[in-house]
Structure 1
Amino acid sequence: MQRIVKPKNQRTKRALEHRAPKLIEKTKTAMFVRGGRTSERVTQVLKELYMLKKPHAVMFKRKNILRPFDDQTSLEFFSNMNDASLFLFGSHSKKRPNNLVFGRTFDHQILDMIELGIDSFQSLRQFKNLKITEGTKPCLLFCGELFENDEEHRRLKSLLIDFFRGENVSNIRLAGLEHVICFTAIANKILMRGYRTVLKKSGCKTPRVELEEIGPSLNLIFRRTKLASDDLFKRASKQPKALKAKKKKNIDVDVFGTKHGRIHMQKQEISSLQTRKMKGLKRSGVNTVDDSNKKAKTDEGE
């Protein structure tokens, strides 16, 4: 059973309210953890991916002897302590050189883990051009049929979207889309490239968009996976009822995109409607003829 913690002071109360479930959750925080043995390449990759994820990221300074696929308790403890639902673990060994493990948690329990190996790497410093500002929301592109046809690649796509998506925003301006991260699935490899958008004159209102590579550039090899069951993943992806859009009744959209509405009205008594009093709108007909006959008879009687 889950232990219920009662706040003893206002500071603890605020901390518990900050971690409590909300209808609209805050941006997910990611942990960057180094293993007991890491190579220079793994350390540099962790630092540069940490720069892309800032300010929603926590970088561990000390090395931690962990084996995520064998024992997950340490990662779950770190997730609970730092209130982080994403993690990237880097290690290096003879059996699995230059190793990266992308993962996420649900209720501070491991949900998905995917292990990738670094085949080649080009740092941000190797591209001599302008860089993007820190905290820029990136535009994510996924190329390759494997992201749609293969279950492991579909789950990897969902994990990468969670990892790099940034803050949730309602509107975004065209000039704000200055960072593009592209993932390409080819056979057993995942190619990651970083670009900066350059807006140039096109002779019309819409500018001409060009992509300039700024890094980092990574070629990753697909290794091991540990994915959640379909039931657990469905429960983790469930949205509260308050956020679901309510269905609008009596509104249809035709094939041309025109919206049509249906209105239900009660029967209207047209004869009892109040109209403007005008001579041309006076009642005429049988009642008027009867009144004139009665008036003529009265005149004859007199």
Structure 2
Amino acid sequence: MEKEIVKAKSQRHKRVLKKREPKIHENDKRTLFIRGGNTSETVTTALKELYLLKKPNAILFRKRNVARPFEDYTTMEFLTKMNDASLFLFGSHSKKRPHNIVIGRTYDNQVLDMIELGIENYQSLRSVNGSKCSLGTKPCLIFSGSDFETDDELRRVKSVFTDFFRGPVVDNVRLSGLEHLIQFTAFEGKVFVRSYKVALKKSGSRTPRIELDEMGPNMDLLVRRTHLASDDLFKKACRKPKAAKPKKVKNVTTDVFGAKHGRVHMQKQELKNLQLRKVKALKRKLSTDDTKTKVLKK
């Protein structure tokens, strides 16, 4: 199927299309938070609080959108394309699927992966006493449980959670800036999500003592349905352009600590043929025997 070529009708439209063009280094992914036709108080609170944690790269829709992503995902594709977003979180509530959320991501304006989850034992930010981390903080993600490595479905669920919660892409993170930690634990088909605030305490040395204070939101997620991309499409979506890959420098390696080591290659030198400066002090003095032989030769 050939992709439709859209021509710009105005200068503003031209700037919008240029902004949406593929880039070597893509911008930070934007997330849409969408309310379904019917939502419970638990789902509404979860959407608002996750939206606060994802700010500023997030958009919360105030109006309701009647949609069923697993039956017809054209609505999700349309909304993500119009808002230039790659991730979405859709919340709904029904008798058959109570407290339901759908986390999905797109590739080339088409739905790539979708996961339907049921919220159980939700604990909001307000219900947990204590200090909170600042908005826009990049979280540290920890995945516990062997199911994330052995189960093919949960392995892709782990990839979706990483893409959704990882925050902005940065090169370095300073220790004092590590304030938020999210732990995902897989056990018996459920994923337990716990959120903590990292507190740095004095330890008497340069390395501080780390304590975790429960912050919220906390929830138990039940995996209900999944819509996963094929291996070929997933591999194509993860492909990196050659220009984005760092160029390999010959004879330079980097160890586990980030230090660079260089190797210098030198040819074998013949010291006998080494040309030196002709200095009188370095000239060989003739002995008496050498002078006699020299006179005889003459």
Separation in 2 of the partners of 1:55 and 1:192?
Answer: 22
1:234 is displaced (CA, Å) by 0.4
SS at the partner of 2:126?
helix
1:186 partner letter: F
2:297 & 2:227 partners in 1: Cα distance?
106
> When the two structures are superposed, what TM-score results if normalisation uses the length of structure 1?
0.88
**Partner SS, residue 103 of structure 1:** strand
State the Cα deviation string for residues 23-49 of structure 1 (Å, max 9, x = none). Answer: 111110011111111111111111111
Letter in 2 for 1:243: A
Q: Which residue of 1 aligns with 2:150?
A: 149
- Counterpart for residue 29 of structure 1: 30
Cα deviation digits, residues 141-167 of structure 1 (max 9, x gap): 111111111111111111111111111
Please tell me the residue identity of whatever aligns with 2:61: F
Partner Cα distance (1:9, 1:292) in 2: 103
CA distance in 2, matches of 1:120, 1:263: 64
Note if contact 2:116-2:226 (Cα within 8 Å) is conserved in structure 1: yes
Q: Which residue of 1 aligns with 2:61?
A: 60
Which residue does the alignment assign to 1:130?
131
Q: Which residue of 2 aligns with 1:199?
A: 200
> How much does 1:271 deviate?
5.3
Aligned residue in 2 for 1:279: 280
Q: CA deviation at 1:283?
A: 6.2
Q: Is the alpha carbon distance of 1:198 and 1:250 closer, same or farther for their aligned partners in structure 2, counting shifts above 3 Å?
A: closer
The residue that corresponds to 2:113 in the other structure is: 112
Per the alignment, in what secondary structure is the counterpart of residue 124 of structure 1?
coil
The answer to which of 144-153 and 10-19 deviates more is 10-19
Give the secondary structure class of the aligned counterpart of 1:171.
coil
CA positional deviation for 1:137: 0.7
Provide the C-alpha distance between the structure 2 equivalents of 1:14 and 1:275, rounded to a whole number of angstroms: 68
Please list, as runs of the form range in 1=range in 2, the aligned pairs for 1:158-169 lying within 5 A after superposition.
158-169=159-170
Structure of higher CA gyration radius: 1
Letter in 1 for 2:94: S
Change beyond 3 A, Cα 1:19–1:186: same
Code of the aligned partner of 1:261: R
Question: Match for 1:76: what amino acid?
Answer: E
Alignment RMSD: 2.6
Secondary structure of the structure 1 residue equivalent to 2:129: coil
Distance 2:284 2:123 in 1: 92
Are residues 282 and 225 of structure 1, via their aligned partners in 2, closer, same or farther at CA, if it must alter by over 3 Å? same
> Aligned ranges for residues 48-87 of structure 1 at < 5 Å?
48-87=49-88
Shift of 1:129: 1.3
Total equivalences in the alignment: 293
Q: 2:263 aligns with which of 261, 264, 270?
A: 261
Alpha-carbon distance, 1:103 to partner? 0.5
Matches of 2:282 and 2:208 in 1, distance apart? 62
1:91/1:277 Cα in 2 relative to 1: closer, same or farther (>3 Å)? same
Q: Go from structure 1 to structure 2 and tell me whether the alpha carbon gap of 1:253 and 1:11 turns closer, same or farther (over 3 Å shift).
A: closer
CA contact (8 A) 1:86 1:103 kept: yes
Say which SS state the counterpart of residue 126 (structure 1) adopts: coil
Q: Is 2:5 aligned against 1:4?
A: yes
Q: Distance in 2 between matches of 1:221 and 1:33?
A: 20
Structure 2 SS opposite 1:203: coil
Contact residue 30 and residue 86 of structure 1 kept, 8 A: yes
Letter in 2 for 1:189: K
The alignment partner of 1:70 has SS state of coil
> How has the CA–CA distance of structure 1 residues 171 and 251 changed in structure 2, closer, same or farther, with 3 Å as cutoff?
closer
Asked if the contact 1:182/1:192 (under 8 Å) is kept, the reply is yes
Distance 1:31 1:284, change over 3 A: farther
Shift of 1:262: 5.6
Q: SS where residue 127 of structure 1 aligns?
A: coil
Question: 2:6 is aligned with what amino acid?
Answer: V
Shift in alpha-carbon separation, 1:95–1:278, aligned structure 2, 3 A: same
Structure 2 residues not aligned, in runs of 5+: none
- Kept after mapping to 2: 8 A contact 1:76/1:109: yes
Partner Cα distance (2:85, 2:260) in 1? 45
Offset of residue 272 of structure 1: 5.4
Is this contact kept in 1: 2:184–2:191, CA < 8 A?
Answer: yes
Query: What's the TM-score once normalised by structure 2's chain length?
Result: 0.89
How far did residue 60 of structure 1 move? 1.0
Contact 1:180 1:194 in 2 (8 A): yes
2:90 aligns to what?
A: 89
Aligned to 1:182: 183
Whole-Å separation in 1 of the counterparts to 2:241 and 2:6? 24
1:51 alignment partner, SS class: helix
Alpha-carbon offset, residue 245 of structure 1: 3.5
